[in-house]
Chains A and B, each alone.
Chain A
Amino acid sequence: MANMEITVALSGNPNSGKTTIFNNLTGLRQHVGNYPGVTVEKKTGMVDYKGYRINIVDLPGIYSITAYSLEEIVTRNFIINEKPNAVIDVVDSSNLERNLYLATQLIELEVPLILAFNMTDIVKKSGKKIDVELLSELLGVSIVEMVGSRGLGSKELLEAVISVVKSKKEKKVELKYGEEVENEISRIISVLKEQKALTYNFDTRWIAVKLLEQDREIIDIIKKTSGPKYSKIDEIVRSSINHITSILRDPPEVIIADARYGFIKGALLEAYKETGSEKLDRSEKIDRILTNRILGIPIFAIIIWLMFQFVFSLGKYPASWLELGFEKLSILVTNVVPQGLLRSLLVDGIISGVGGVITFTPNIMLLFFAIAVLEDSGYMARAAFVMDRVMHKIGLHGKSFIPLVIGFGCTVPAYMGSRILENRKDRLVTMHINTFMSCGARLPVYILFAGAFFPAAAGNVIFSIYFIGIIVAVIMAKILRATRFKGESDPFVMELPAYRIPTLKGIMIHTWERAWMYIKKAGTIILAITILMWILFTFPMIGNNYSQSYTGKIKEIEQSYQYGEITDPEHRREITAVEAEMAGERLAYSAAGRIGRFLEPVFKPLGFDWKMVVATISGVAAKEVIVSTMSTLYSIQGTGEESDSLKVALNEHYTPLVGYNFMLFTLLYFPCMAAMVMFRKEAGTKEMLFQIGYTLLLAWVVSFLVFQIGGIFIK
């Protein structure tokens, strides 16, 4: 029997537990993508139930479907244009009145609707009672009771979906907005009909209501479809708005909202019993401490510090196991594949390049684990609240803080996370400075260089780089705010959800998603870049164009060893030195070497040689590639532990000042190509080019100053 395919949209307020229900329904059969043209994340999942293949689309969490934010527009367009077979609205049952507001708007849209009353356990515990059957009748929609955190109710929800899809019931309940508003609605409907300004996608009454609410997007659509006739429509709408405002003393959007709440209240009055008095609940008690005006910021600092420790101290163990694994793999390949170009590509190119990147997966996973815990527990919103004043001082929004923290993990999701800022200027400034929040991919560079030049104080040195990044971000935010992005930042309103114990499943799915994104990046773009780098480093081949006869030199060394003139370690050291020289010449001869040499004069004032230039260029692909490029550049064949030998090589070639300066440069210039692709998607080509240009310039200027001034004190 062929499965019948249906599409179900999952909507709901933020913090209604929507994601948990989505995870319960689909398990790991999820796919994360983007809505076309915008960077709002689109999650889809699948579940087979009773002969139906149900595609579930997880819509963004929103409070209403006006055109206030990108998320709201995306949701509305999906429901209107894609016409899902059913829409599930996840409702926090412990907060029915506000949560049902979105439901009223979905009822207005006349979609086949199912309300998923989530967290019914909390309602029962607090002694309240919902008469679901009665409420369902009053609202004219099916209601399913659920406890998402314990996985209860999923089956019943699917059952309700199927029965709604099957029944295709006609319109049930119509919301009325009071006599005055209704009169104006009829007036607008008649003018719309008269002017034939309707589009097949929308219901006329709905359009009339939206025009009264002055919904920008709908106005634009009507403008387009009605052409010159729009002025007539606009005239009527404006007179209606003025009429309502003068009589009812509030603008139509407020009156209409009031009517929706009235409708909800009316229904709840009959179907909802509130017993017991309001007491100071647990969340309130926790907030007294966590958002305390004095303790708030220190507590926040401690939590972020703990998160760092968790990610980096704990992460280094699995990272070292992975490193060991890749080392063994490269030995295995060396033994199996005969010497030649293929072995070189596999061992020097792919395994060392991709392996080096995969090694950091544990850190990425732990970071996203920590972020998911902070988010799901409800603390992230408090952090934004606590930080708002500080962020305001540098011209940012309290919410900017969240993408900035994510930026410490990976700049790509951080750019995506900037969408929580509704105001374009806030968003752009946040994005433009996000690159200075050192992402996880830059950490390997720091670990390598700090380990090579400051082995005793590596931790402190790395911390200083992170810290400098924050300072630069603050300064740049101020500068950008005062120049390119002048103007007020958006008013700040944000829900502080009740504290909850996060579910392990939700956190694991979230963590896995991010880790998988990272691994995919390693398997695709970084693999491609690694191969490209290998080609650049290998061709054109030097052949017999060495400046001197190295083979003769090696023979001499071998001979003197055989005659007992030098000891075994001496012999080995000399051979290695000669081979390194050869490698150096080979690289200088290759395309990469030539590019590096060509650009060397530009970077000379920063203390960089052409190898560092080549590494920096490779870092455009992805910053962690800098490490693999450096290891290719200094490849010393088959002796000892890879990164250690690289550290030794670095130490031989550069002063600590140059090493530190290189870390600074790596910190400051724009993040990887993937991030830039995301930036372009989010903010357009112009902003992306600005980002690339200004960060390069800044990186150069800062490194120049540090090297020149530092050179005076350190010789």
Chain B
Amino acid sequence: MRRFGLRRGRGGEKREHFVGKDFYSMAEAVPGKKYKIVKIDGGCRLNSRLCAMGFIPGEGFYVSGASLGGPLCIMIKGTKFAIGRGMAERIHVKEA
């Protein structure tokens, strides 16, 4: 329920939920801050795939853009990736 409400919410209010929270998903990351990947919650195929692209626990990244409700732009290991919200939700991150 809460998640659903969040995703509908617009920018500002969405972020307030996470004040003081340590870990959240990449989908909830906002531009202008630096983050670190904590854990990837995928199957072994997805894990291998993401690792090969540089999405690996401990790696820092930042959000460089997002289309409205669509994929996010993530800058990681010097490469920019477009990543779908569904996938981003499976990557746990924390602020670096």
Chain A residues close to B by CB (< 8 Å): 63-64, 66-68, 94-95, 97-98, 101-102, 213-216, 250-251, 253-254, 257-258, 261, 283-284, 287-288, 291-293, 296, 381, 384-386, 388-389, 392, 398, 488, 491-498
Cα of A581 to Cα of B70 in the assembled complex, Å: 61
- Further contacts, 13 of them, CB under 8 A, given A64-B48, A492-B82, A495-B80: A66-B45, A250-B57, A251-B44, A257-B47, A257-B51, A291-B67, A384-B82, A388-B82, A491-B86, A491-B87, A492-B86, A493-B87, A494-B82
> Do A386 and B52 form a contact, CB below 8 Å, given A98-B79, A254-B40?
no
B81 part of interface (Cβ distance < 8 Å) = yes
**A257–B52 CB distance below 8 A:** yes
Q: Chain B 32-72, CB within 8 Å of chain A: the 1/0 string?
A: 00000001100011111111111111100000111111110
**B67–A66 CB distance below 8 A:** no
**A98–B80 CB distance below 8 A:** no
Residue of B nearest to A291 (CB): B65
**A95–B48 CB distance below 8 A:** no
**A287–B65 CB distance below 8 A:** yes
Cβ-defined partner of A296 (8 Å) among B39, B67, B77, B80: B67
**A293–B52 CB distance below 8 A:** no
Q: Shortest CB–CB separation between residue B62 and chain A, in angstroms? A: 11
Residue of B nearest to A212 (CB): B44
**B44–A213 CB distance below 8 A:** yes
Residue of B nearest to A62 (CB): B52
**A216–B80 CB distance below 8 A:** no
Cα of A94 to Cα of B65 in the assembled complex, Å: 22
* Chain A residues with CB below 8 A from B68, complex form: 293, 389
9 closest A-B pairs by CB:
A492-B84, A389-B70, A257-B51, A64-B52, A491-B87, A63-B52, A385-B82, A496-B80, A214-B44
Residue of B nearest to A280 (CB): B64
Chain B residues close to A by CB (< 8 Å): 39-40, 44-58, 64-71, 73, 77-84, 86-87, 90
* Chain B residues with CB below 8 A from A283, complex form: 80
> Do A253 and B48 form a contact, CB below 8 Å, given A97-B78, A493-B83?
yes
**B80–A287 CB distance below 8 A:** yes
Cα of A478 to Cα of B49 in the assembled complex, Å: 29
**A385–B73 CB distance below 8 A:** yes
**A388–B44 CB distance below 8 A:** no
* Chain A residues with CB below 8 A from B87, complex form: 491-493
**B78–A493 CB distance below 8 A:** no
> Do A398 and B56 form a contact, CB below 8 Å, given A66-B48, A68-B45, A493-B83?
no
**B47–A253 CB distance below 8 A:** yes
> Do A97 and B71 form a contact, CB below 8 Å, given A288-B65, A388-B84?
no
Cα of A495 to Cα of B87 in the assembled complex, Å: 14
Cβ-defined partner of A287 (8 Å) among B64, B70, B83: B64
* Chain B residues with CB below 8 A from A251, complex form: 44, 47
Residue of B nearest to A293 (CB): B68
Q: Shortest CB–CB separation between residue A140 and chain B, in angstroms? A: 21
> Do A493 and B57 form a contact, CB below 8 Å, given A66-B52, A216-B45?
no
Cα of A538 to Cα of B7 in the assembled complex, Å: 67
**B81–A97 CB distance below 8 A:** no
> Do A98 and B53 form a contact, CB below 8 Å, given A492-B87, A494-B82?
yes
**B50–A493 CB distance below 8 A:** yes
Q: Shortest CB–CB separation between residue B63 and chain A, in angstroms? A: 12
Cβ-defined partner of B49 (8 Å) among A66, A102, A498: A66
Some 30 contacts from A to B, beta carbons below 8 A apart, are A64-B51, A64-B52, A66-B48, A66-B49, A66-B52, A95-B79, A97-B77, A102-B52, A213-B44, A214-B45, A250-B39, A251-B44, A253-B48, A258-B58, A261-B56, A283-B80, A287-B64, A291-B73, A293-B65, A293-B67, A385-B67, A385-B70, A388-B67, A389-B68, A389-B70, A392-B84, A398-B82, A491-B90, A493-B50, A493-B55
Cα of A254 to Cα of B84 in the assembled complex, Å: 21
Q: Shortest CB–CB separation between residue B74 and chain A, in angstroms? A: 9
**Most chain B beta carbons < 10 A, residue from A94, A214, A284, A493:** A493
**Most chain B beta carbons < 10 A, residue from A98, A250, A253, A284:** A253
* Chain B residues with CB below 8 A from A493, complex form: 49-50, 53, 55, 81-84, 87
* Chain B residues with CB below 8 A from A250, complex form: 39, 57
**B70–A95 CB distance below 8 A:** no
> Do A293 and B66 form a contact, CB below 8 Å, given A250-B39, A261-B56, A493-B87?
yes
Cα of A102 to Cα of B49 in the assembled complex, Å: 12
**B64–A389 CB distance below 8 A:** no
Q: Shortest CB–CB separation between residue A91 and chain B, in angstroms? A: 13
Cα of A98 to Cα of B59 in the assembled complex, Å: 12
* Chain A residues with CB below 8 A from B49, complex form: 63-64, 66, 68, 493
Q: Shortest CB–CB separation between residue B12 and chain A, in angstroms? A: 15
* Chain B residues with CB below 8 A from A213, complex form: 44, 48
Cα of A67 to Cα of B73 in the assembled complex, Å: 26
Residue of A nearest to B40 (CB): A254
* Chain A residues with CB below 8 A from B90, complex form: 491
Cα of A66 to Cα of B43 in the assembled complex, Å: 14
Cα of A630 to Cα of B37 in the assembled complex, Å: 63
> Do A253 and B44 form a contact, CB below 8 Å, given A94-B78, A491-B87, A495-B53?
yes
* Chain A residues with CB below 8 A from B39, complex form: 250
Cβ-defined partner of A496 (8 Å) among B69, B82, B84: B82
> Do A492 and B83 form a contact, CB below 8 Å, given A213-B48, A253-B47, A385-B73?
yes
**A101–B48 CB distance below 8 A:** no
Residue of A nearest to B66 (CB): A293
> Do A496 and B73 form a contact, CB below 8 Å, given A68-B48, A98-B54, A254-B40?
yes
**A388–B71 CB distance below 8 A:** yes
**B67–A386 CB distance below 8 A:** yes
Residue of B nearest to A386 (CB): B67
* Chain A residues with CB below 8 A from B78, complex form: 94-95, 97-98
* Chain A residues with CB below 8 A from B47, complex form: 251, 253-254, 257
* Chain A residues with CB below 8 A from B53, complex form: 63, 98, 493, 495
**A98–B77 CB distance below 8 A:** yes
Residue of A nearest to B84 (CB): A492
Residue of B nearest to A252 (CB): B44
* Chain B residues with CB below 8 A from A101, complex form: 52, 54
* Chain B residues with CB below 8 A from A492, complex form: 71, 82-84, 86-87
Q: Shortest CB–CB separation between residue A325 and chain B, in angstroms? A: 46
Residue of A nearest to B42 (CB): A491
Q: Shortest CB–CB separation between residue A195 and chain B, in angstroms? A: 23
* Chain A residues with CB below 8 A from B81, complex form: 493-496
* Chain B residues with CB below 8 A from A488, complex form: 86
**B79–A257 CB distance below 8 A:** no
